[in-house]
Structure 1
Amino acid sequence: MIVSLAEFRAMVTWSTVLMGCGAGLVIAMVTSPVGVSGAVFLLPVQLSVLGVPNPAVTPTNLLYNVVAGPGALYRYWRAGQLHGSLTRVLIWGTLPGVVLGAVIRVFAIPGPEVFRVIVAAVLLPLGLWLCVRTFWVAKIQPARGLSVRSIRALAFVVGTVGGIYGIGGGSLLGPILVGRGMPVAKVAPAALATTFVTSFAGVLAYSVMSLTATGEIAPNWMVGLSCGIGGLVGGYFGARLQPRMPERALRLVLGMLAVALAVMYIL
């Protein structure tokens, strides 16, 4: 059977939407219970399967966070997990950081290779430590937590990094705060809320810059929206699954995700 060019394009479009939805659903269902959006795990799918060009991958990931985030956040809000002070501290610390990061990006930014090495150097030992501590410690004792001032400063730094490099903050904030002894059930909703805020600001920034800059730096709207719709559903069910998972299992998942993120940044 001979397929016309218009029919072929329609098939490619629908296959892209279906694959994007499926990938977003599965990834969000696994990562949302521990406060990680999972956007970085979409990179291989976007580059190798969905054909998103490399410069546009970052804003497309941010668009995924914006569309997918409300699914898990709504579930956490209904469960009363978004009303805590930690969410407010992280968001108000992140917002000025995002603005500063956007300014830094315009005038002077280090190379992305340096950023990847730094993030991997932070996430890899944190992830390994969480995994080892979960396996080998019979009863996990809460470590000494961070002060509100320290948490706000950490959120500001993460927001600045998000403004410069266009990443959500949950993948960084989650392992650090849980590693300091906070329960995953408390950290996950606040980390996802922070990711949503930084991603929304990032999408706006990249969309504005695409109007004047050369190259494909605007998000791929079809891929971002299709992955995000899948993530919207997967994030809701992942957040609904979280109360049924013991703290030890959540810490282990978060540690394994941190190690996987570090390896992806290195490679």
Structure 2
Amino acid sequence: MNLPLLYTFPISKVTTSILIPPLVTFLIAFLCASGGVSGAFLLLPFQVSIFGFTTPSVSATNHLYNVFSIPFGVYRYWKEKRFFLPLTLIIILGTLPGVIVGYFLRISFFEELKRFKLLVGLVLLSIAMRLIYEIFAVKKEIRFSSEPPKTLIFNWKTLKFVYSQEIFKLNSFLITFIAFFIGIIGGIYGIGGGALMAPILLAFFRIPAYVFAGATLAGTCITSIVGVIIFTLGGHQPDWLLGLLFGIGGALGLFFGARLQKYMPQKLIRIIITAGVLFIGYNYVTSFFKS
């Protein structure tokens, strides 16, 4: 079948219709936006398996997709006053140094990633088991509230806020500490951290996606900006045009997906996040046993 507007991208050497990249990312981002995830974890295997883009530049291109697309989703949450800045700050405080450490670990200690990937995959599957349990165990989910979270306490030790008439209390340092390690994983693998942070906040801290979605997207965006810079300086620049086309579709998907989120029940969002974590965990574990 002849695809219209066929083009060969100069850096990745991928040959496809210029309509395919934005269409794929629109669908991915639209599905994932409600959970505070950009969908980059689905885009990476698509690039590798379908496009045959397997050089280190594929990770840089994945980061570039986040850089172009995420601001539109974050803007939607911010415009609707659903962007929770205190949570965003404590996440970014951890992921930013983490991704830098992760990149240098990647080029020095983790040339062979199979065992480390197996460990991360097993951790993700354990998180997925917790999420699956809560899908059935949680009888009363948090309802969406048009009132934004109201901060009661915010310092380096504690974040306490009210949302939907319920009080939530987090250890700020612990969230930043977790975000630091998620940033390291992002630096090692070349992925954003939203797909890891979102399920942890949902499964173990019981924070509703209506509160953390904008924050995890913003954290992923910051991680990816640093990722693009580091990969480019390291001689593995992204495919700029392909990343831009991915970003156009992702921007539209995240924008409209974020807008739709307030109409989605928390249980449906929980199922979407669980499916994403299962996908990543399964692929990481099975890749260990492949030659």
What's the TM-score once normalised by structure 1's chain length?
Answer: 0.86
1:144: Cα distance to partner? Answer: 8.3
Q: What residue in structure 1 maps to residue 227 of structure 2?
A: 202
Q: Comparing 30-39 with 109-118, which one deviates more in the overlay?
A: 109-118
Q: Comparing 41-50 with 91-100, which one deviates more in the overlay?
A: 41-50
Tell me if structure 1 keeps the 8 A contact 2:5–2:17.
no
Query: How far, CA to CA, are the matches of 1:44 and 1:159 in structure 2?
Result: 20
1:88: Cα distance to partner? Answer: 0.7
Give % identity: 37
1:10: Cα distance to partner? Answer: 6.0
The residue identity in structure 2 corresponding to 1:95 is L
Query: How far, CA to CA, are the matches of 1:144 and 1:127 in structure 2?
Result: 22
Q: What residue in structure 2 maps to residue 169 of structure 1?
A: 193
- Structure 1 residues 104 and 68: CA distance shift in structure 2, 3 A: same
1:184: Cα distance to partner? Answer: 1.1
1:110: Cα distance to partner? Answer: 5.7
1:185 to 191, 200, 210: 210
Q: Structure 2: where are the runs of 5+ without partners?
A: 9-14, 143-165, 287-291
Q: Comparing 189-198 with 95-104, which one deviates more in the overlay?
A: 95-104
1:146: Cα distance to partner? Answer: 4.1
Query: How far, CA to CA, are the matches of 1:170 and 1:143 in structure 2?
Result: 24
Q: What residue in structure 1 maps to residue 182 of structure 2?
A: 158
The residue identity in structure 2 corresponding to 1:259 is L
Alignment map for 1:95-110 (pairs within 5 Å): 95-109=96-110
Q: Structure 1: where are the runs of 5+ without partners?
A: 211-216
1:140: Cα distance to partner? Answer: 4.7
Query: How far, CA to CA, are the matches of 2:167 and 2:190 in structure 1?
Result: 31
- 1:163-213 Cα shifts (integer Å, max 9, x gaps): 232211101111111112111111211111111011110011111111xxx
Query: How far, CA to CA, are the matches of 2:198 and 2:168 in structure 1?
Result: 16
Q: Determine which structure has the larger strand proportion and give its number.
A: 2
- Aligned residue pairs total 255
Q: What residue in structure 2 maps to residue 229 of structure 1?
A: 248
- 1:91-111 Cα shifts (integer Å, max 9, x gaps): 112222223223333432362
What's the TM-score once normalised by structure 2's chain length?
Answer: 0.80
Q: Determine which structure has the larger helix proportion and give its number.
A: 1
